[in-house]
Amino acid sequence: MDRDDKILAYLQGRLASRERDQFERDMAADTGLRGEVTLMQSVRGELANAPKLPEPEELWERISDAIDQPDKAANDNRRPWVQLAQYAAVACIAVAVWQVVAVPRLGPDTGSEVFHTASETSDKFELQVKFRGTATMADVIAVLTDLGGTITDGPSALGIVRVSFASETRRQNAFEVLASQKDLVEFMPDP
């Protein structure tokens, strides 16, 4: 019997009394042998306290149940930008529907009588006005609406806007009113 077999036989109590006595004398003389026996005793103790494995039939049943489970998709193989593109498309469609359906029913914007597109023909009766930087858009729209004026161009790089009127009388009236409002108008050349 080799050394490992003797250690196992000693630990399992399979040695005859004479062999066991001799083995214990060998352990007392050899510290290496004593260390191996101590190590094997601790391993046996750990194995004795370890949880027991299930019976083979029970283990196979658990494995087959796990195999029979429907597969869960680990990845649905869609790129993340596809979902983002879908959200963007929905947003674009919502804005288009809003512009076509809702905006025409809401009526004109505040100041739509004051501003016109550049492609519209302007009246021949115009004034050039530079409003003060402290003037709010609400103040400008209120004054021009009362005077019947429409902003047809500007503001330019210098801040000058061109205001058109339907008649010379209105333009002349607007010139007098705007010239008197120093808190709103910064500069207006003579017509």
Beta strands in the chain (DSSP E): 125-131, 150-153, 160-165, 185-187
What Cα–Cα distance (Å) separates residue 114 from each residue in 4, 17, 156? Answer: 105, 119, 17
Q: Which burial class, exposed, middle or buried, applies to 74 when counting CB atoms under 10 A from its CB (0-12, 13-18, 19+)?
A: exposed
Look up the pTM and report it. Answer: 0.36
Per-residue model confidence as pLDDT tens digits over 47-73? 778 777 667 778 788 888 877 776 666
At 125, the pLDDT band (50, 70, 90 cuts) reads: confident
What is residue 4's predicted lDDT score, i.e. its pLDDT? Answer: 86
Superfamily grouping for domain 125-187: Peptidase S8 propeptide/proteinase inhibitor I9 (3.30.70.80)
Domain-by-domain residue ranges, the chain? 1-68, 125-187
Query: What is the average per-residue pLDDT within 150-168?
Result: 81
The DSSP bridge pattern shows strands 125-131 and 185-187 to be antiparallel
Note whether 2 and 8 are within 8 A (CB). Answer: no
d(CA 16, CA 19): 5
